[in-house]
């Protein structure tokens, strides 16, 4: 399987997704459309991963629009898509729903609760990394997967193989450190009230990586 990853900022990379790709003996290609303007074609994509970044789907940058054209093509061919944060917002916007400011800015660690049993093997609750102040609406026909007390729409599954998460399961400990040292100013104003030191001190739960693997296995199952 060819896994094409769209990375939008240097400090938000594939993290544990890379480990899943290697464990499955797939091949991963990482694209940087914001820097180089390059995207894969739909024909050469078996799984599209769209990562986060400090931008909004409501921006009119050419590469953002081009990404959604690719998403549209993959939706038409029933190709699996996984979106994290901005990536989930991009897919939701292509599916015809709004992306807007969330009721609260969430930056740091906070739990999300599972809202559906459609994907087996997931725990009732996960303590995950949040790094956002926008949110998606749930696309028509999609199932709400995760919620929390601050932002209801934390995850959705569409058509069995398109998954969007407002939070991050992919960062490993090194990735969290990279996000904090490079983008730590963004923590200010978060409803979670955590400092950079507190975010760094919390270990990444093994359950997050296991849940990520389960989600990726589900959307790529034949």
Residue with token string 């499955």: 24
pLDDT tens by residue, 27-59: 999 999 999 999 999 999 999 999 999 999 999
CATH code at 2-220: 3.40.50.880
113 burial type by CB count under 10 A (0-12 exposed, 13-18 middle, 19+ buried): middle
Q: Kindly give, in sequence order, each residue whose CB lies less than 8 Å from that of residue 161, ignoring residues fewer than 6 positions away.
A: 78, 79, 80, 81, 219, 220
What average pLDDT does the structure give for the chain? 97
High-pLDDT (> 70) share of the chain, %: 100
Mean pLDDT of the 191-211 span:
97
Residue 151 pLDDT more than 70? yes
């Amino acid at each position: 399987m060819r896994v094409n990853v769209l990375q939008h900022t240097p400090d938000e990379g594939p993290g544990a997704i890379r480990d899943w790709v290697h464990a499955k003996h797939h091949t991963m290609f990482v694209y940087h459309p914001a820097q180089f303007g390059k995207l894969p074609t739909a024909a050469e994509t078996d799984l599209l991963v769209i990562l986060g970044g400090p931008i909004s789907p409501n921006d009119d940058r050419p590469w953002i629009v081009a990404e959604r054209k690719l998403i549209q093509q993959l939706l038409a061919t029933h190709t699996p898509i996984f979106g994290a944060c901005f990536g989930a917002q991009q897919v939701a916007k292509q599916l015809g729903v709004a992306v807007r400011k969330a009721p609260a800015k969430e930056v740091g660690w906070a739990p999300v609760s599972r809202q559906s049993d459609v994907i087996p093997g997931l725990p009732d609750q996960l303590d995950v990394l949040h790094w956002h102040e926008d949110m998606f609406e749930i696309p028509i026909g999609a199932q709400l997967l995760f919620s929390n007390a601050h932002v209801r729409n934390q995850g959705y599954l569409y058509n069995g193989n398109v998954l969007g998460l407002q939070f991050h399961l992919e960062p490993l400990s090194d990735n969290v450190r990279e996000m904090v040292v490079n983008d730590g100013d963004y923590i200010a104003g978060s409803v979670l009230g955590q400092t950079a030191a507190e975010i760094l001190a919390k270990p990444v739960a093994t359950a997050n990586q296991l849940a990520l693997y389960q989600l990726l296995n589900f959307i790529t199952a034949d």
